[in-house]
């Protein structure tokens, strides 16, 4: 999408795809399909963390969402890609492994390595750090959670206020009423899975 903006074009096709997907499934991809999300969950799994604290300041990712296309438009370059963790993991590291003797590694290669290390450390101390605070794709999909066909239904009658669903929420949501609709919910279903009273369920 940035590439379109860099060339002064409106990214109609990628934007349409994201909108259609968002309406169909909101942040479902974040909970079930994204390798970057899965990698962070793996770090949390290794740490053995089971109870998660509520998340504050999660709106930072909306600044990144605005900043990313703005910088691409003003600076005619893919600035976010230069600092994106995906680039570190899926481009810089594989390139290095395939070309260890290459002499042209420069500033941005080392920046990506630094970002990779920082990412792992931050994900260790804060579950889904990248998804909560930085990722512009997650921020964009988050807008569609309210419209999404995939939803989490809460049955208040069955709920005994045990708080287990809030404890296991890897994104640190603070209210059950926000499950499935908050821009921060990744529709991962951990809350659904852990509710002992079956007060939460996925609907399509």
Least distance between ligand SF4 and beta carbon 47 (Å): 17
| One residue of 5, 43, 72, 185 binding ligand SF4 per CB under 6 A | 185
120 counts as binding ligand SF4 under rule CB under 6 A = no
Number of CB atoms found within 10 A of residue 148's CB: 21
Q: Which is nearer to ligand SF4, 5 or 166 (CB)?
A: 166
Who's near 11: CB < 8 A, 6+ residues apart?
A: 1, 4, 5
Binding of residue 138 to ligand SF4 (CB under 6 A): yes
Among 5, 34, 89, 115, binds ligand SF4 (CB under 6 A): 34
Estimate to the nearest angstrom the gap between the alpha carbon of 104 and the chain centroid: 32
Q: How far is the CB of 174 from ligand SF4 (least distance, A)?
A: 10
DSSP H/E element including 153: strand 151-154
Judging by beta carbons within 10 Å of its beta carbon (0-12, 13-18, 19+), is residue 11 exposed, middle or buried? middle
Mapped onto helix, strand or coil, the DSSP state of residue 132 is helix
Classify residue 32 as exposed, middle or buried by CB count within 10 Å of its CB (0-12, 13-18, 19+): middle
Q: Find the binder of ligand SF4 among 84, 89, 173, 181 (CB under 6 A).
A: 173
Nearer to ligand SF4, 105 or 190 (CB): 190
Q: Tell me the window of 16-24, 99-107, 118-126, 166-174 that interacts with ligand SF4 (CB under 6 A).
A: 166-174
Residues forming a β-bridge with 153: 201
Q: Which residues bind ligand SF4 (CB under 6 A)?
A: 30, 34, 36-37, 130-131, 135, 137-138, 152, 159-165, 169, 171, 173, 176, 179, 185-191, 195, 197, 199-200
């Amino acid at each position: 999408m940035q590439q379109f903006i860099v060339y002064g074009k409106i990214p109609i096709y990628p934007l349409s795809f994201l909108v259609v997907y968002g309406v169909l499934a909101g942040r479902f991809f974040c909970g079930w399909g994204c390798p970057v999300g899965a990698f962070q969950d793996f770090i949390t799994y290794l740490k053995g963390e089971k109870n998660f604290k509520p998340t504050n300041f999660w709106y930072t990712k909306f600044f990144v969402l605005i900043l990313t296309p703005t910088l691409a438009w003003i600076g005619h370059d893919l600035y976010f890609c230069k600092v994106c963790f995906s680039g570190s993991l899926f481009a810089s590291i594989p390139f290095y492994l395939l070309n260890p003797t290459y002499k042209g590694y420069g500033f941005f290669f080392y920046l990506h390595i630094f970002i990779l290390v920082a990412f792992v450390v931050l994900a260790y101390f804060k579950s889904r750090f990248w998804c909560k605070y930085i990722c512009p794709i997650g921020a964009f999909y988050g807008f569609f959670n309210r419209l999404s066909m995939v939803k989490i239904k809460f049955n208040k009658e069955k709920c005994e206020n045990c708080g287990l669903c809030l404890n296991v929420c890897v994104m640190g949501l603070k209210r059950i009423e926000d499950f499935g609709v908050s821009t921060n919910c990744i529709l991962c279903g951990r809350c659904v899975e852990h509710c002992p009273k079956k007060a939460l369920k996925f609907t399509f």
